Structure 1
Amino acid sequence: MAIPINEDPYSAPIIRMDKEDLDNAPIAIFRPRSLAAICEMTKFSKREVQIIYRSFKQGCPTGIVTLEQFQEILTQFFPRGNPKRYAEYVFRTFDRDHDNQINFEEFVTGLSVITRGTTEDKIEWIFKLYDVNDRGIVGQAELLLVTQSIYEILGRNVEPPISRRVIIDHVLDAHKKMCQNGESFITREQFVHMCMEDKSLCESLALFDTIL
């Protein structure tokens, strides 16, 4: 979700909902913690949190976004592709309490990891993205699912079109690099270690950096 964080801050109070929002909201309102608390949770400044909150609130007045809303947002950014599966995988990494919705705190925390986290933080997030079944391990099937979804989001923006064979070869190459001892799966610890040691492997798995 592309959200500007370098614009001038808004002058009105930020971490609150307007009365109109409270009266007309179709579902329960999520009330985020104080601005200072959110800054401590993330690597954003107060000014940046204010701007992110304004953008988030504009699209999600209740302070909560569902999977369907998240998919619709990405569809607006990528009308020539099909981002629904990719959006589902990203949504799952942000939904920390697994209640099938993302509140503002979950969103801004996830955004902080992706944009301001250390290299290790980002690699751990990549692993979580590929660990689609929350098993703590990633194999060829998981790699293929997420990689396919990344190419789907690009859609007709890729010229010439990328064949499924190319995608499979990309996945097999990445899997071979990660599982050098013949294992079928790789754990989070192994994944982080391999990506920290092999920059090219990390880059091949982080195609989403140019998308999100």
Structure 2
Amino acid sequence: MGGKNSKKNANPELTEPEIEFLLNNTKFDRDGIIRWYSDFLRDCPDGKLDKKEFEKIYSQLYPGGNPARFSKYVFDVFDADGSKYISFTEFMLAMTALSDTDVTKRLRLTFQIYDVNDNHQIDVKEMTKVIDALYDLKDVPKDERKGELSASNRAKAIFSKLDLDESKGLNVDEFVNGCLGDEFLIRLLLPEGSQ
């Protein structure tokens, strides 16, 4: 009865090289990594967190909002190898990045979320999409998304402040340096939970 099926359905093991990599690249100790892995396998028995499961996590964090679009942007950044799922290692690296106390590092990660087309530049259109997705995520009422508070007008206002060379695109340094000088922009642009 056991034979082939029990091996096929067994949870993947966390290898010593993976533990060593995480010890060297995250803030977690060995016991913490093993605890996180156990929890990760409880939710993802095959060791793979897909977009649908990732969106469920965001749904729990934002029960009144619609996390579909924003969670997709974040998922794409965390899926570093483009495999269409987040491995435990990618998950732990993301957890470390989101909880880092260094605002510059968090802003660099946030830049990647806003860089939807992954060309190392953010344009007004990309920023508008992500701000609109943030509005959905946080369930901002439609009447609070009008006029100067609309995603499009917010993106344009941010660009007028950060795009100093008027290139119509922000590179990571312009984004980070501009945000570091403005507490309001940091609160607006950093994903919730990473501030």
Asked if these proteins are the same fold (TM beyond 0.5), I'd say yes
| Residues 122-131 or 54-63, more deviating | 54-63
Question: What is aligned with 2:177?
Answer: 193
What one-letter code is carried by the residue in structure 2 that aligns with 1:63?
Answer: G
Identity %: 24
Other-structure match for 1:114 = 98
Instruction: Name the SS for the 2:80 alignment partner.
Output: coil
Change in 2 beyond 3 A, CA 1:106/1:187: same
Aligned ranges 1:1-212 → 2 under 5 Å: 22-24=7-9, 29=12, 31=14, 33-116=17-100, 118-155=102-139, 158=140, 162-165=144-147, 166-168=149-151, 169-206=153-190, 208-210=191-193
Please, which moves more after superposition, 175-184 or 55-64? 175-184
Query: Could you report, residue by residue, the CA deviation over 1:125-163 in whole angstroms, capped at 9, with x for unpaired residues?
Result: 0100100100000011111111111110122xx579522
The answer for the alignment partner of 1:11 in structure 2 is none
Cα distance in 2, alignment partners of residues 102 and 30 from structure 1:
16
**What's the CA shift string for 1:57-113, capped at 9, x where partnerless?**
111011111112211222233332210111100101111111111100001001101
Aligned-residue offset at 1:49: 2.1
CA RMSD of aligned residues (A): 2.7
Local SS of the residue matching 1:186: coil
Give the whole-Å Cα distance in 2 for the aligned partners of 1:79 and 1:211.
18
The offset of 1:55, in angstroms, is 2.0
CA distance in 2, matches of 1:173, 1:202: 14
The number of residues matched between the two structures is: 188
Runs of 5+ consecutive residues of structure 1 not aligned to the other structure: 1-19
Letter in 2 for 1:174: I
TM-score by length of 2: 0.83
Distance 1:24 1:37, change over 3 A: same
- In structure 2, what is the Cα distance between the partners aligned to 1:47 and 1:82? 35
Shift of 1:41: 1.5
**Secondary structure, counterpart of 2:122 in structure 1:** strand
